Amino acid sequence: MSRLSYAEFLDRKSQAGGEAGFEPRWMPDLLHPFQRAMTTWAIRRGRGAIFADCGLGKTAMQLVWAENVVRETNGRVLILTPLAVGRQTIAEGEKFGVDCARSRDGALPPSRIVVSNYEQLHRFDSADFSGVVCDESSILKHFAGATQKAVTRFMLKVPYRLLCTATAAPNDYIELGTSSEALGELGYSDMLARFFRQIDNKKASRMNALKEWQSATTGNHFAKLAYRVAQQIGQWRLKGHAVVPFWRWVASWARACRMPSDLGFSDDGFVLPELVQRQHAIEPRTPAEGCLFTIPAVGLGEERAERRRTLTERCELVARLVDHERPAVVWCHLNAEGDRLARMIPGAIQVKGADSDEAKEDAYVAFAAGHLRVLITKPKIGAFGLNWQHCAHVVTFATHSYEQFYQSVRRCWRFGQARSVTVDVIATEGERHVINNMERKARAAQEMFTELVRHMNDSARLAVAPHETPIEVPTWL
C-alpha cells in the first residue's frame, strides 16, 4: 500500500471537495448573469446543489445543466420533480430551446432529457442515464425512508448529479447531510461524526444547560452560531472549532442565494412586492369538555381537538375572506376542512391525496391558467415547485411546520409577482403559541440563511494555500 505524502494528507483533510465536471459546452443568452454563474459552477462541479429561493430560475438552471451533460456524454439525463411541476419543466424547456419529454412508465422517449415525478423513479434504470436532477430536493425528507434511500441509491450510480431546492429552512442540518450523501460527499452519519459531538443527556444538567445558554448569548459569534445549530439538530451539537470548516465543506458542494446580490450581482427585476400578513383568532363557541372557558391548547392532541371543535367557525371565516372575484388559494391540514370549504366556496375545487395524479395536475394547470378561481389543497400535496404568480391571496391555517408555511406562501409571493400578496393566517385562541412558534422559526431561518450565504461566499473567495513550504528538520535529530 502506497504511503500518502504530507501534502496529500493535508488536501484530504481540507474539506475543500473536488470537481468532477467539465467546462460548459452551451449557455443560452436568456440566463441572467447570476443564473449563468451558478449554472457554470454546477457544470464544473459535476455533482453539486443549488439552494436558490423561489422564483430565481432553478428550473432554467437545471435544464441548461442537463443539456450540457447530454452534449458532453451523449447520454440521457433524468429530471425528477414533484407532481405537476413536470409540465412547467417541459414548458420552460421549450422557452430555452432544450428538448425534453415526460415519461411516467419508465419508457425512454427520443428526447435525451427525461422528466418524471419522484413516485415513478422505480420504473427507471440508473444505467440508462449519465446525469440526474432532483428538483425541489428538500421534498425528499417528506417521503418514507425507503423512497429517500431509493433516490440516494439511484443517484450514487450516476456520474453527474444536481440537487435544486429553495431550502426554506437552511438550518435543517439533517437535510444538508442527506443531500451530501446523495451527491457522493460525506454521508449523514459521517457528517455528524466529523463536525458534531453528541450530547450525553444522562450527564447533562440544568445548570450546565444554563451556562451553555449564557455563553451562547454573551459569547463570540461562533459560540452563538454553534448554539443555534444545536437547537436544530437535537442531541448533536456543532463543535465550536468546526463552525467555519463545516460551512466551508458545505460550500464545496453547494451554492445558495435568496437574492442575486448574495452572489454579488444586481437585484434588478428580483425585488419582491409587499407581503401583507394578517392574523385571525377564532374564539370557540363552546369550551373544551370539562372547562368553563377556553384555555390554550397544550400538545398536539389538544390542538387537534380544538380544531375539530372550531371547524365550522374557521371554515366560515375562510369563505368570507375569499368572497371576492380575484384568484385565491386555500391551504388546509385536515380532510374535513377541505371537504367543508369545497361545499361552502362557490366554484372552488379541492385537490385531495386520494385523487389520481392526472386529476391533481389538471386542477393545478387550470388554476395557473386562470380557469379556476379558488383552489383548496394541503401543503404536503401541492406546496412545492408550482408557479402561481397570477394569485395574490393566500389563506392558511396555523401550523407548526415552517417549511410548509413558507412554501405555501411562496407559490404566490415569488419573483415575477406584480402585486402585493395578502396572507391570512387563521388560528384558534388556544393556538396563539403556534403562531408565536412560527414567527420564531421564521426569524431563525432568516438568520441562519444569512450565515449560510456569508460563509459560502467567504469560502468561494478562499484560495487554498499550496503546501510548498519545506519542512525544516532540527539539527539535533
DSSP H helices, 157-205, are: 173-183, 188-195
| pLDDT at residue number 230 | 47
Q: What is the mean pLDDT of each run of 10 residues along the chain (477 residues)?
A: 58 58 93 94 94 89 97 96 85 92 92 92 94 84 67 92 75 74 86 81 49 52 51 64 83 87 89 92 70 60 76 92 95 92 94 88 90 92 83 92 86 90 89 80 76 70 52 68
Grid coordinates of 342? 369545497
Q: What is the 3-state secondary structure (H, E, C) of 12-28?
A: HHCCCCCCCCCCCCCCC
| pLDDT at residue number 292 | 56
Report the C-alpha gap between 274 and 413 in whole angstroms.
9
Stated as kind and residue range, the H or E segment containing 458 is helix 432-461
DSSP H helices, 369-422, are: 379-382, 402-410
Question: Is 414 within 8 Å of 54 (Cβ atoms)?
Answer: yes
Query: What pTM was estimated for this model as a whole?
Result: 0.80
Question: Could you give all domains of the chain from N- to C-terminal order, each with its CATH number?
Answer: 10-266 (3.40.50.300), 275-439 (3.40.50.300)
Grid coordinates of 465? 494555500
Name the nearest CA neighbour of 100 among 134, 130, 77, 73: 77
Question: Is 116 within 8 Å of 102 (Cβ atoms)?
Answer: yes
Report the C-alpha gap between 40 and 68 in whole angstroms.
10
Residue 278 amino acid letter: R
Residues in CB range of 432: below 8 A, 6 or more apart: 281, 296
Grid coordinates of 270? 428580483
Residue with cell 368572497: 323
Name the nearest CA neighbour of 43 among 67, 21, 71: 21
Three-class DSSP category at 112: coil
Centre a 10 Å sphere on the Cβ of residue 212 and count the other Cβ atoms it contains.
18
Q: What is the DSSP letter of 465?
A: P
Name the nearest CA neighbour of 81 among 102, 64, 67, 95: 102
Residue 331 amino acid letter: W
| pLDDT at residue number 391 | 96
Stated as kind and residue range, the H or E segment containing 443 is helix 432-461
Cβ-in-10-Å burial (0-12, 13-18, 19+) of 466 comes to exposed
